[in-house]
Amino acid sequence: MNSFVKEVIKISWPIIIGQIGMVLTGFFDSLMVAKLGHEELAAVGISNSIFFLLAIFPMGVTMAFSTITGILQGNKKISLYHYFVKDSFTTTIILSGLISVVIYIITKNFEWINQPENVTQISKPYFTFLNWSLMPMLIFFFAKNISDGFSYTKGGMFVTISALFLNIFLNWILIYGKLGFTAYGVNGAGYATIVSRVYMAISMLILLFNSSDTPLKFSTFISSLGNSHRIKFYKKIIRLGFPSGLQYFFEVAAFAGAAVMAGWLGARELAAHQLAITIASFTYMFAGGIAAGGSICVAKAYGNKNFNHVKKYGKASWQIGFIVMSFFAIIFLFFNHSLAQLFSDNEDIIQMGAQLLIIAAIFQLSDGIQAISVALLRGITDVKLPSFFIFMAYWVIAIPMGFILSKSSEYDYWLTGLNGIWIALSLGLTISAVGLSYRFYFLLRRS
């Protein structure tokens, strides 16, 4: 194992565990709500899909914070850290307020989503709870991504894992009415989400400004607020962060669109989609962690103008991603039915979910490689053309194709309905993986 692979793994593994903690929060929400019924599971699924569709843009913007931090480190511009942190925090708060207004409007008009009536009625109050959790969630990502940029990735891991256990405990109390509390059902999961995300925000801020692994102090950060002549980073954040946010938005929007189309087919189809996407999201976190670690390593090398190291870190990230995602593809192929049974005792939902996991097995490599490639490109500040390419792969090819296949009965059963939607998504992921990987290779060949 060469030093570049070791470095990517060293930075990536805490991010992977932290991201697994984030996905497991949704996993246990779904698992615990599923005991209430398939309509409740469908409501939580569609609500979270739409919420993350809207929240993913500011989340993607905060992902650029780690890249800019890494580049500043590579350039050894230590005196600018606090100014960048201040501008990043301000950007996060403004975006949080704007997205919260959009979520409020959708909550009042949830019928626009055209879901089954019972699912809509259950979704509305839960969606409101998610809105209240938006700002603390984004503050957590602000602090976490800057910490990650300094290669202090363990802090986010510890906070996320502890928040996972807190959320599970609160779910148990508030969903089912344990320890003398009222059983709030789906709304109990909403209360638990708010509390756990507030905890995450506060804890991560404390670590960001008090850890010996980050060169930041809260007092210096506060004093930087009053310096009107300081260097400002808003243009750099917009230039790098906004296209990054759009990249995540286009991808998550495609999967949210798939959830909406699944809901058009029926509540059971939506429940099957939700169970399969929850499992597939779990494995994606491994690729996402490797991508984040690789991006940080590449950004530091890019800041040092060491393009040879940029290439080697990129190659190491691809190698790790290929091995990890191949392993998950095998798991999905051989244990698809057993995994689907974790979420439902309805045989129709289990059967549909198991079929979707076979399709998910096929796109594991594409999903992993495209996630890593777009992060590597972000590490060398190439974000505009990749954003356009991702849009084309999902919204010009995958989603229209998914819509056609979901409505068609002219083809084999495996190619239509819910399966057709997932096959189209798989095609979009593959096109994205090939194009983005070639883009990174092409740019470095010229350097």
pLDDT score at 267: 79
Q: State residue 147 phi and psi, 5-degree precision.
A: -60, -45
pLDDT single digits (tens) 131-161: 999 999 999 999 999 999 998 999 999 999 9
Query: What 8-state DSSP symbol labels residue 394?
Result: I
In the predicted structure, residue 409 carries a pLDDT above the cut 60: no
Quick check: 175 and 32 in contact, CB under 8 A? yes
| SS3 per-residue string spanning 195-208 | HHHHHHHHHHHHHH
In the predicted structure, residue 413 carries a pLDDT above the cut 60: no
* Residue the block writes with tokens 């809260």: 218
pLDDT score at 77: 66
- The token pair that represents 419 in the structure block: 């399966």
- The token pair that represents 271 in the structure block: 């429940």
For residues 422 and 357, give the distance between their C-alpha atoms in angstroms, rounded to a whole number. 10
Longest dimension (CA), the chain: 67
pLDDT score at 15: 92
Q: Indicate the residue type of 380.
A: I
For residues 157 and 168, give the distance between their C-alpha atoms in angstroms, rounded to a whole number. 17
* ∠ CA 31-37-43, rounded to 5°: 80
For residues 35 and 231, give the distance between their C-alpha atoms in angstroms, rounded to a whole number. 54
pLDDT single digits (tens) 246-303: 998 998 888 878 888 888 888 788 888 888 888 888 888 899 999 999 999 999 998 8
Indicate the helix (H) or strand (E) that contains 62. helix 38-75
